[in-house]
Every structure is written in C-alpha cells, then in structure tokens.
Amino acid sequence: MGAAPRSIAFLGTGLMGAPMARRLLDAGFAVTVWNRDATKAQALAKDGAVVAETPSLAARGAAVVFTMLSDGKAVEDVLFLQGVAEALPQNATVIDCSSIAPAQARDHATRLAARGIRHLDAPVSGGVVGAAAGTLAIMAGGDGTLIAELADVFAPLGRVTHVGPSGTGQLAKLGNQQIVAVTIGAIAEAMMLVQAGGGSPEAFRRAIRGGFAESRILDIHGQRMVSREFGHAGPSKLQLKDLNNILAVAEDLSLVLPLTEAVRAEFAAFVEDGGADVDHSGLLLQLEKQNAGGRGPA
C-alpha cells in the first residue's frame, strides 16, 4: 500500500476556495476547511471536509496549508495573528493562492522560514469555472524543488508553473491582471464604438472570434457585455486592488505603465460609483456613463 495522502488545511472557502477544496477532496486528500463566514465552510462538509472553528485548529498538524483570502492583510492576520504559523509542524508548507503584493509574499516567506515552515506564493487564474474543472493556471514563486515535491497536491487544481523566487508568483499574477483589465477595457470600448456607429455588439463579437483579437476575455467577458448580465464572479473592487498593487510595484521599479494607469482610473471611478461588487466586465457600464445615453451600474 502507498503512503496516506497528505493532510491539507484550506483557509478561505469563498468563490474560488470552495471549488479548489472540493477538487482536493475528490482527489482523496484529507481536507480540513475554515472560512470567516462559517456557512461557506460548512457547505463543504457534505463533500467530506472537516470543518474547523478557527484557522489555527484547521492548520494543526497539517502537512500543507492553502490560503485563498481577500488580500495581504487578511493573509498576514490568519497566518501570524490567528495562530496558524504556531500550529503548523516543522517542514509544513503554506501555499498562498491569494492575490497579494509581491513584497508581502516575500515577507511571509521569510517569517515562516524562521519557524521552519516552507512557503510558496501561488496565485491562480482561470476563475470559478477553472477552479471547478481543475484547469487553473497556477503561478508559483519559491523553491522549485518544493513545487515538484508537491506535484500531487497541485495536480487536481490545474497546471503549475515555477516562475522564480519568492514573490514572483505574485508578480506573474499582477501581470495577468494587467492583461485582463486592459483587455476588458479595450473590448468594452470597441463594442461601444461599433454600437454607436449602428452595428450590433453581438454580431461584432461573433465577427472577430478566431481572429487576432480572440481571447478568453472576448469569449466570456465579451458575452457578459453583450447579454448585459455581469454578475459578481470577478468583483471590480478586487480588480481595482490588483491594479493598485501593480502600479505600486511599477513605481518601485521606476516603470511608467500608461495603459494600466488609465484603466485603473476607470475601475476606481466604477467602484466609487457603486460597481464594487459587479463583475469586472461591468467596466462597460462605467465607460458608457461617460458617453451620451450611457447607463450607470446595474
């Protein structure tokens, strides 16, 4: 008989965390879950998860801890103020899938290493659909040997790529979010241009499918713009958080990113005007509002 599967704690079982934890359960791992809103963790009990009342209880004795939390402050709070780091055994690994600033990721890695705990910053892309299907793109910063060692843990979740040392997984995620945000803005503006000239946004989207402008964003987010059913899958407030982090890192690196700066300003205005929880494809609403006959957030 082979060795028993690694014990895993999954902290943060929201839109992305819940389907990721479910994938690990389906793969045969013993998974203990915790979420600030306990009802979201309880929903995984029927899938075989053990539900813990606190993050430190979830982490106690775990070989691997996943964190999928809202921001760097939340990750720091759970790891260092709510007792997770103290609850973990030597040589345990924290895999942080949250989208946080690269400097925060490096700081967490250093503080955990002082306790004999390993750390990977491993943010993901692919959305809720990718999380449920196990097709996420996982961008990992840290020790490449450790990433290879944990191949069995990553396999149910998607495709993992070692980007470089600590913090570079988060840099890759920021680059991903740059492309997403700017592309959403470009598609929204193009649809407005076509519609203003008398064309059909739906027909426009169909016409350019398969050409150089093809992308998953045109496929998924473009359809949301056509149907005007934006939903809440990728809240604009989180897109704005990522854009703020991108520009902060760019400033540290003495880079000027004019396209990112422009789309960041539009997302900031959209969030301020009531679009915080609207999917980031809803940026179309903000751009429409700047033009005659535009509509505000739904």
pLDDT tens-digit profile of 75-124? 999 999 999 999 999 999 999 999 899 999 999 999 999 999 999 999 99
Q: Tell me the pTM.
A: 0.85
Indicate the residue type of 44: L
Q: Which long-range contacts (CB under 8 A, 24 or more apart) does 249-252 make?
A: 249/101, 249/102, 249/171, 249/174
Are residues 178 and 132 located together in one domain of the fold?
no
Are residues 268 and 285 located together in one domain of the fold?
yes
Average pLDDT over residues 152-158: 98
Number of domains in the chain: 2
At 252, list the tokens.
């540290």
Average pLDDT over residues 125-136: 93
Are residues 41 and 124 located together in one domain of the fold?
yes
Distances in Å between the alpha carbon of 118 and those of 92, 122, 266?
6, 13, 39
Phi/psi at 262 (5° precision): -65, -45
The enclosing domain of 199 has a CATH number of: 1.10.1040.10
The enclosing domain of 52 has a CATH number of: 3.40.50.720
The β-bridge partners of 64 are 8, 93
Are residues 128 and 31 located together in one domain of the fold?
yes
Question: Could you tell me how many helices (H) and strands (E) the chain has, helices first?
Answer: 16, 9
What mean pLDDT, rounded, does the chain reach? 94
Distances in Å between the alpha carbon of 110 and those of 89, 162, 207?
16, 19, 51
At 282, list the tokens.
């809803």
User: Considering the domain boundaries, does residue 1 fall inside one?
Assistant: no
Are residues 185 and 73 located together in one domain of the fold?
no
At 126, list the tokens.
């692919």
Three-state SS at 141: strand
Indicate the residue type of 67: T
Distances in Å between the alpha carbon of 87 and those of 23, 77, 145, 176?
25, 14, 24, 33
Average pLDDT over residues 24-42: 96
User: Considering the domain boundaries, does residue 17 fall inside one?
Assistant: yes
> Residue 295: pLDDT above 60?
no
User: Domain span at residue 19?
Assistant: 7-165
Active site (catalytic) residues: 173
> Residue 181: pLDDT above 60?
yes
